[in-house]
A and B are shown apart, each in its own frame.
Chain A
Amino acid sequence: MSNPYRLWEIQGRSNTGPFCDEDDFLPKIFSPKLREIIKKYEIKYDPKTPVPADDKMADRIWQAGRELFREVGLYNTDTHRIIKLSDEEISEALYATSDRYWVGAGKDAVLWKHRSVEDREPPFCIYSPDCTCSEELFYSYCLSFLKEPLLDGFCAPILEESMGQLIRSASPFEINGCTEHIYKMRLAAKQVGRPGTFFVAVGTAEHDAGQIAVSNNEWGVRTTDSRIIGTLTEFKTADTLLNRAVHCAQYGCYAGNLTGPIYGGWCGGSEGVAVALVAYSLNGLCIYGAQFNQHFPFHLNWGSNTTRELLWPIAMAGQAMARNSKLLYTSNGFANAGPMTEMLFYETACHAMVSVVTGWHLWEMASTRNKFRNRATALEARLAAEVGHAVARQGMTRAQANEIALKLLAKYEDHAADAPKGSEYQECYDVAKANPTQEHYDMYRKVKDEVAKLGVEFPY
């Protein structure tokens, strides 16, 4: 079956669901219920083991996430009502959904399938710099990513300007920026000989109008591409987001549910983040009609997810969903360090390895916590995909991944708060040719060789 699940019955609950004052939703409903569920299912974070091999706890986290979603639901900030589903409905949606989709077009189409824990099938790799970029660098950025051999899908950086004018959300400038965004992506894909590449687009659109304006199978976002629909942190939505879900369903393109549960925020600690990741995935399936979930849990203070308190929930939620569902989900790395630093490569390798061994697909890599313009490159995404392919092909176990993760964490974890910002794209890439500089390549190769010595068996 292709989602969405019972589109108008579920959408209608924005109007008919239980009323709740928005000020009460998180402190009085979400947070106490999450605490209660963590206790009930005996979920316990152990910092000594960032990659646990605990099937029973993984199954309990699945049950906990399911209960959280059923009991708390999703709050619509426009109608002040909560969209809730019954247990039977959640079961029906989980049964009816597909475990695989053909995405992209023509010879560039790729079959994207559900993965299991310690799966030998390589992950589906979406490359994304996740940063904003200068208008004059955007096209080169696209070329540099689309040249990457292991790329299965591509999400371009976010334009800050279009035709030299600052893009302001929900304004005509945003629509203009979205048009420029997708045209340049299309041209870049054609020039590198991959015209049917699966796109997740367009990131420049913060508002629904910008997304809808570029739905076009000839020049724009195609029905073989995907959109991302955000969920507001935590467990809130709004009509502008639901508009996108309905548009994706009716236009016929793929949809991904984008979520970023916060460690230290309303989810509390690592246990809460793990449970929330599962619950968010059910929200994506049941309310947004998403074919995949795109998760970037992050640390409240650092904005990253490569330290152990975030690797643990990633590892556990991945196992929980791999063992108990057919869902597709990507793990979106947020690194502390910036491009052309060894720290960024270590963080990337660790995040990719932990994610892939525990059932995730990859969406890499938000360097420098995606905070700074032009500070991400395709080379860190390349390392992530290569690590992902390697650990899958060699059949790396969770125990092995845990051992290597501890060694990698020792290299960077203490520098999370004061990580180097590194360099901007144009400082570590030849912009005209869209290739990494020798210095940048050498650093990537050095770290890759070090990671290989730790036990990651790269084929090349």
Chain B
Amino acid sequence: MSLQDLCKAVETGDQDKGKQLAQQLVEGGTDPLEIIDALTKVMDEIGEKFARLEIFLPEMMMSGEAMSKAVEILSPHLKKGGAGEPKGKVVLGTVKGDLHEIGKNIVKLMLQAGLFSVKDIGVDADPITFIKEAEAFGADIIGASSLMTTTMPHQKEMIDILTDEGKRDGYKIVIGGAPTTVEWAEEIGADLYAPDAGSAPRLFSELLKK
């Protein structure tokens, strides 16, 4: 039983072994922050492999799930030490009228692996739902995905409502999805255009520093 074994379990997507080893390590006195640092590095490597498509989505999802399970075990111990706060809180969804989810789901996984706390509100989400969920969750960022040109206006609609309600400054708004562009993001007043899932954790972190 070693940290290396746990890293291997996450790499191969073995959830049960990941949970078991995380429990043993933390009970054995290993610093949970040290464990999370090591697992984050593993997920960074997995993410890079996925970005190059040396591995595919199912493998990355399995690793991400294994990491999440291990972090669940570690979280209570982190809180005791006052550390381990998420990098940021994100409400994520696909806009109204749009049922596509794969891009949004990959972004969610990458963010979770990057230690963001993510509330996934699913597909076909009304602009008001985004806003209410963000308020309830205490979100820092709202991420709205759209895969169809005719559903892109709902990204704008959400920003317009936030502005009209005087709540725009309360959140960073990120948009993404196949037909969206940086020009569209600028046109509708979003704070960030996310071009792909792989860069999401880095770009979201940078956005929160602004």
Contacts and interface: CB of A to CB of B under 8 A. Distances in A.
Contact of B154 (A27, A168, A371): A168
Nearest to A168: B153
B178 interface: yes
Nearest to A269: B56
A169 interface: yes
A301 B96 CA distance: 25
B150 A168 contact: yes
Contacts of B99: 77, 232, 238, 240
Majority secondary structure, B binding face? loop
Contacts of B26: none
Interface in A167-181: 167-170, 174, 177
B14 to A, nearest CB: 14
A207 interface: yes
A299 B62 CA distance: 21
A170 B57 contact: no
A410 interface: no
B97 A27 contact: no
A170 B153 CA distance: 11
B33 interface: no
A303 B148 CA distance: 14
A266 interface: yes
A252 B65 CA distance: 46
A169 B96 contact: yes
Contact of A300 (B53, B101, B123, B149): B53
Name the residue in B61, B97, B100, B154 with the highest tally of chain A Cβ atoms < 10 Å from its Cβ.
B97
B179 A31 contact: no
A362 interface: no
Given A158-B149, A160-B149, A233-B100, A268 B56 contact: yes
Contacts of B44: none
Contacts of B58: 27, 31, 35, 266, 268
B150 A167 contact: yes
B133 interface: no
A204 B151 CA distance: 11
B157 interface: yes
B59 to A, nearest CB: 8
Interface in B80-117: 96-102
B34 to A, nearest CB: 29
A340 interface: no
B135 interface: no
B77 to A, nearest CB: 27
A371 B98 CA distance: 16
Contact of A371 (B65, B97, B178, B196): B178
Nearest to A241: B99
Contact of A204 (B56, B150, B178): B150
Interface string A281-298: 000000000000000000
Contacts of A303: 178
Interface string B118-150: 000001000000000000000000000000111
A169 B178 contact: no
Nearest to A169: B97
A132 B179 contact: yes
Interface string A15-26: 000000000000
B130 to A, nearest CB: 16
A167 B61 contact: no
Nearest to B153: A168
A168 B157 contact: yes
Question: Residue among A206, A238, A372 with the most chain B CB within 10 A?
Answer: A206
A89 B104 CA distance: 35
Given A168-B154, A371-B179, A266 B98 contact: no
Nearest to B61: A27
Contacts of A301: 51, 53, 196
5 contacts: A167-B153, A168-B153, A232-B100, A233-B102, A263-B53
A160 B148 CA distance: 10
Contacts of B101: 232
A170 B151 CA distance: 9
Interface string B58-76: 1001100100000000000
Interface string A344-382: 000000000000000000000000010110000000000
A299 B196 CA distance: 13
Interface string A240-268: 10000000000000000000001111111
Contacts of A77: 99, 123
A269 B55 CA distance: 9
A207 B97 contact: yes
A31 B102 CA distance: 14
A399 interface: no
B102 A170 contact: no
Contacts of A369: 178
Nearest to A238: B99
Given A27-B62, A265-B56, A303-B178, A174 B102 contact: no
B179 A169 contact: no
Contacts of A177: 150
A237 B100 CA distance: 10
Contacts of A443: none
Given A168-B157, A169-B151, A266-B102, 16 more contacts: A35-B58, A158-B149, A160-B150, A169-B96, A169-B97, A169-B98, A206-B97, A262-B57, A264-B50, A264-B56, A299-B53, A300-B53, A301-B196, A303-B178, A371-B179, A372-B181
B185 to A, nearest CB: 14
Contact of A206 (B61, B65, B148, B196): B148
Contacts of A166: 153
A232 B150 CA distance: 17
Contacts of B50: 264
Interface string B33-49: 00000000000000000
B54 to A, nearest CB: 10
Interface in A51-76: none
